[in-house]
Structure 1
Amino acid sequence: MTRQSIFLVTLVVDTYDRAKAFYCDALGFECVQDEVLPEGKRWVVVRPAGGEGAALLLAEAAGEKQKVAIGNQAGGRVGFFLKTEDFARDHAAMLAKGVRFVEEPRREDYGTVAVFADPYGNTWDLIQHA
């Protein structure tokens, strides 16, 4: 039986450097790759430091069709989920770095969760499973 996994998800952004700064500086992600490609493009991959699962390919929008997708990759729904083992620690660290939470933390049957937004308006759940 062959096993498969999703290892990379594209996130359309306005500029590589602004996105990389948010994900690496404010969220504490690590930059796995940042390589210059032809025609002024870059291959920028970030992921939660020490984390498992998929990484993000930060893709600078090229053309109007891609530009309108910035901040609306999930059609207004929470589109990304950041799992943590210490919600209080990570929530406080993110607030201290200026991350904008769009709701207060809440407890659900499945765990503790709060929604935050990236600089573009994409929404994320910060979640610690029960």
Structure 2
Amino acid sequence: MEMRLELVMVPVTDVDRAKDFYVDQVGFVADHDHVVSDEVRFVQLTPPGSACSIAIGTGLTQMVPGGLDNLQVVVADADAARAELVERGVDASEVDDQAWGRFVRFSDPDGNRWTLQQLPAWSAAGPGRDD
């Protein structure tokens, strides 16, 4: 059985502020922004090159805003990714070099935490990877 993770809910307090952060500062693509009813607004955002998107909005989840601790995405170059985030006004950590990768961390305005990982050369072309 094949399963693909394609959407992760990210709990936020202010949908417009979060959308601006993810699109204007982090560089995600705004796929959808629909007000379904007075209780539901669905905003889908996708990191460039990703098959998985995030959803922010109202009426989507019971999670507490800021409650996601460490969503992780893979980047080709941690230094370049960090430089781009900082240039766009994101408070991103220095690159953290580990044996299992190079990491940059940041949080959205609600405190949901993200990690960018540059895979080490020995695992970058592992099973299931074509990059």
Q: Where on the TM-score scale, by shorter chain, does this alignment land: which range?
A: 0.7 to 0.9
Q: CA RMSD in A?
A: 2.0
Q: 1:74-101 CA deviation, whole Å, 9 max, x = no partner? A: 3xxxx20121112221110101111112
Q: Which amino acid aligns with 1:30?
A: V
Q: Where does 1:29-108 land on structure 2 (aligned, <5 Å)?
A: 29-39=28-38, 41-49=40-48, 51-60=49-58, 69-74=64-69, 79-101=70-92, 103-108=93-98
Superposed CA offset, 1:34-72 (max 9, x none): 1121115321000112x223210102368xxx7881112
What letter corresponds to residue 52 of structure 1 in structure 2? S
TM-score (norm. length: structure 1): 0.81
Distance 2:79 2:20 in 1: 23
> Could you tell me which of 92, 96, 121 is aligned with 2:111?
121
The question of whether the paired residues in 2 share the 8 Å contact of 1:100 and 1:118 is answered with: no
TM-score, length-normalised on structure 2?
0.81
Identity of aligned residues (%): 28
Moved >2 Å (runs of 4+): 59-62
With over 3 angstroms needed to count, the CA separation of the structure-2 counterparts of 1:73 and 1:111, relative to structure 1, is closer
Aligned residue pairs, count: 120
Instruction: State the alpha-carbon separation in 2 of the partners of residues 10 and 43 from structure 1.
Output: 10
CA contact (8 A) 1:14 1:61 kept: no
Q: Which has the higher strand share?
A: 1
